[in-house]
Amino acid sequence: MSTTRTPQVPASESISPKILYFGTPVALITSLNENGVPNIGPVSSAWALGWTLVLGLETTAKTTANLGRNRECVVNLVSEELHEKVEKLAPLTGNNPIPKHKAEKFRYEPDKFAAVGLTALKSDVVQAPRIGECPIQLEAIVPRSSPQILRTLRVHTLIAG
Ligand SMILES: Cc1cc2nc3c(=O)[nH]c(=O)nc-3n(C[C@H](O)[C@H](O)[C@H](O)COP(=O)(O)O)c2cc1C
């Protein structure tokens, strides 16, 4: 006679989180402000589905406004060594005035490249610069109305050595 053993697994429960989010690697999105100065927006909601990029972008971020207006950006993937730069970027926004809900934690920064010491490199097909320190840089356009869905046009990767 065979016996069926129930595997011992922890008990689970059904929950309703306010945000369904399990985290993805950090990317720095470069886009151009109205005055042509590049902005850098850190995000962790970025996925590639083939050459389509999907971003989870907050509506009040300067980055979102720039993507809506210029229809292009660079998605720069960060490596561990850049964590201090990401921390420095975290409380900065290119939005002036600062949206009310960010007023306590954010400050306006018109030139984030200079503020945190990152290198702007000319892109091949978009106006927004790439970030030289980032190991992978994806030049992309906004082909339809939503600034959250991008089409990758060019992929750059650092040459090892
Ligand atoms: C590590 C990290 C991850 C973040 N992930 C996101 C994200 O996925 N989506 C988003 O809209 N904002 C995200 N933020 C917050 C934006 O960086 C913030 O809205 C900032 O204002 C963007 O800069 P900007 O207003 O100049 O565009 C993240 C911030 C940090 C530091």
Give the pLDDT confidence of 24-63 residue by residue, as tens digits: 889 999 999 999 999 999 999 999 999 999 999 999 999 9
Rounded CA-CA distance 152/25 in Å is 18
Higher pLDDT, 2 or 136: 136
The predicted model gives 61-67 an average pLDDT of 98
Query: How much distance in Å is there from the Cα of 121 to the middle of ligand 1?
Result: 22
The protein residue whose alpha carbon is closest to atom 28 in ligand 1 is 43
pTM for the whole thing? 0.91
Q: Could you tell me the pLDDT band of residue 3, with boundaries at 50, 70 and 90?
A: low
DSSP secondary-structure letter at 102? Answer: G
**Longest Cα separation, the chain:** 79
- Ligand 1 atom with minimal separation from the 87 CA: 31
Q: Is 147 near ligand 1, meaning CB less than 6 Å away?
A: no
Q: Is 75 exposed, middle or buried (0-12, 13-18, 19+ CB in 10 A)?
A: buried
* pLDDT of res. 2: 57
- Say whether 89 sits in a helix, a strand or coil: helix
Query: How much distance in Å is there from the Cα of 152 to the middle of ligand 1?
Result: 20
- Residue ranges per structural domain of the chain: 27-157
| H runs (alpha helix) in 4-80 | 62-70
Site to substitute for ligand 1 among 32, 63, 75, 100, most atoms within 8 A of C-beta:
63
Query: How much distance in Å is there from the Cα of 26 to the middle of ligand 1?
Result: 10
Higher pLDDT, 154 or 18: 154
CATH architecture of 27-157: Roll (2.30)
Q: Residue 125 is encoded by which pair of tokens?
A: 């097909």
- How many Cα atoms occupy the beta-carbon half-sphere of 65 within 13 Å? 12
